[in-house]
A and B are shown apart, each in its own frame.
Chain A
Amino acid sequence: MRYSALRILKEGLTGNKGWKPVWREPEPKPEYDVIIIGGGGHGLATAYYLAKEHGITNVAVLEKGWIGGGNVGRNTTIIRSNYLLPGNEPFYELSLKLWEGLEQDFNYNAMISQRSILNLVHTDAQRDAFVRRGNAMFLAGADAEYADAKQLREELPFLDFDNARFPIKGGLFQRRGGTVRHDAVAWGFARGADSRGVDIIQNCEVTGFDIKDGVCRGVETTRGAIRARKVAMCVSGSSGRVAAQAGMRLPIESHVLQAFVTEGLKPVIPGVITFGAGHFYVSQSDKGGLVFGGDIDGYNSYAQRGNLPVVEDVAEGGMAIMPMIGRARLLRSWGGIMDMSMDGSPFIDRTHIGGLYFNGGWCYGGFKATPGSGWCYAHLLAKDAPHPAASEMRLDRFRRGHMIDEKGQGNQPNLH
């Protein structure tokens, strides 16, 4: 069924009896061409682009719980492509371009809102670094705009420009950045993949891999063994646990990241704003809640809940740039598990096991990458060669010394 305004009108006049479930609930078949482990945003996007762009439809997406129940439903919904390094920026710009056409492409309202993202600048050195980043963005075909404090005072008068410790001296805009309704991304990709023949199998946990003579021929699951020519891991956050079943150790630690939302307020924050002297990012949802987050807690965790010191740290970051939010009451906070990689950048690659592929290590930046990740992973699975935009996102890059370390922090995952 194609969604349109006319369809809504017609259904509204006929008692809304024509709406159908948007994906099937099939039983797993004994064999597929491709099995994707993980029914999150990236896994569903991969299945969608495999079917749509490469014509590979004999595909199963295996999800331990329900689709979209992991990080695609736990993030702060920000999309952007304001990276610096050549191993990253072309990929994220590809992803942002896919976001821009996504709703028309999969005929689903994901409420993509290009309301801009602003990275605030508090020192002269930081201004130089951000202008350089803006130039790197231009080189990859992205947009960037440096705004000085005078311009920002006119545009965002509520910021604490004269903060004694972190005065706001300007900021780097990416006007094409913004926010998305994250659940709808999972649902839209699922619907698009399902309608092209992909089996989305929920409540199906992978419990082992069928690996013989260095080749993966399928997986063991809680719903029986399933054979496949290609098996694609796509479980960022839990990559360590799933890869361990294949005997793999990864350049990844799992960490918990918390996010927060306040009670609904009248519109006060027009775009996404990030603090430059600490870690705090905020936007306002269409329902009015301020959606914000900050640093990861900093210790290995699979617990999907964090601790209070980080809550305090995030709140302090918010108060340092916009004291007006101090009266807003927190409605909810939650945690998600991040694959924190050794250089802060992800992996889309083959593994050393034949027929087994890996997508993970997204740190806390995976949501914006969803369509790009699916696009590049589908390309890798279909053609057995990395997509040019993801050609540096390899598992062996540490061995070769080709890290993609945006922050220059080295091999300490909790600092990325």
Chain B
Amino acid sequence: MIINHPLLGPRDAAEFIYLGDATLIDRPDPTAADAAEAFHEYGYIRDNIAGKMQELWYHEQGDRSWLVVTRDTLTHEITDVEMARDVARSRGRST
């Protein structure tokens, strides 16, 4: 698989570490009343999508940026690559 890095261009997927579903960006509020349940879901339960999925990849052997890669788990086709920080900010995260 080739990941088209927004800053570095096409890179071999072997340079990256795979973390998982990009919903991991949305960390639950640890001070909320239901935090224990929310963190159980966050830590252990997954959608495990068959089809287009947004995922977090870390460019460990490159510029060490986190990317959000949109990839089809049925075909391995990659259709979109964004910087994870841009995705996080667009969802309202400050850092």
- Chief secondary structure at chain A's binding surface: mixed
Mask, B16-51, CB within 8 Å of A = 1, is 001111000000000000000000100111111110
- Using a Cβ–Cβ cut-off of 8 Å, how many residues does chain A contribute to the interface with B? 25
- Chief secondary structure at chain B's binding surface: mixed
- Using a Cβ–Cβ cut-off of 8 Å, how many residues does chain B contribute to the interface with A? 24
Name the B residues within 8 Å of A331 (CB-CB): none
Q: How far is the CA of A100 from the CA of B80 in the complex (A)?
A: 51
Name the B residues within 8 Å of A241 (CB-CB): 48, 50
Q: How far is the CA of A303 from the CA of B43 in the complex (A)?
A: 25
Mask, A318-352, CB within 8 Å of B = 1, is 00000000000000000000000010000000000
Contact A309 B48 (CB under 8 A): no
Contact B40 A250 (CB under 8 A): no
A399 touches which of B1, B19, B40 (Cβ 8 Å): B40
Contact A252 B55 (CB under 8 A): no
Contact B45 A300 (CB under 8 A): no
Name which residue of chain B comes closest to A398, CB basis: B44
CB interface residues, B 44-90, toward A, < 8 Å: 44-50, 53, 55, 71, 73-76
Q: How far is the CA of A309 from the CA of B40 in the complex (A)?
A: 33
A411 adjacent to chain B (CB < 8 Å): yes
A4 adjacent to chain B (CB < 8 Å): no
Interface centre among A251, A300, A301 (most CB of B within 10 A): A300
Residues of chain B whose beta carbon lies under 8 Å from any beta carbon of chain A? 1, 12-14, 18-21, 40, 43-50, 53, 55, 71, 73-76
- 4 closest A-B pairs by beta carbon, nearest first, are A240-B48, A309-B14, A398-B44, A251-B44
Residues of chain A whose beta carbon lies under 8 Å from any beta carbon of chain B? 239-241, 244, 249-254, 298-303, 307, 309, 342, 398-399, 411-414
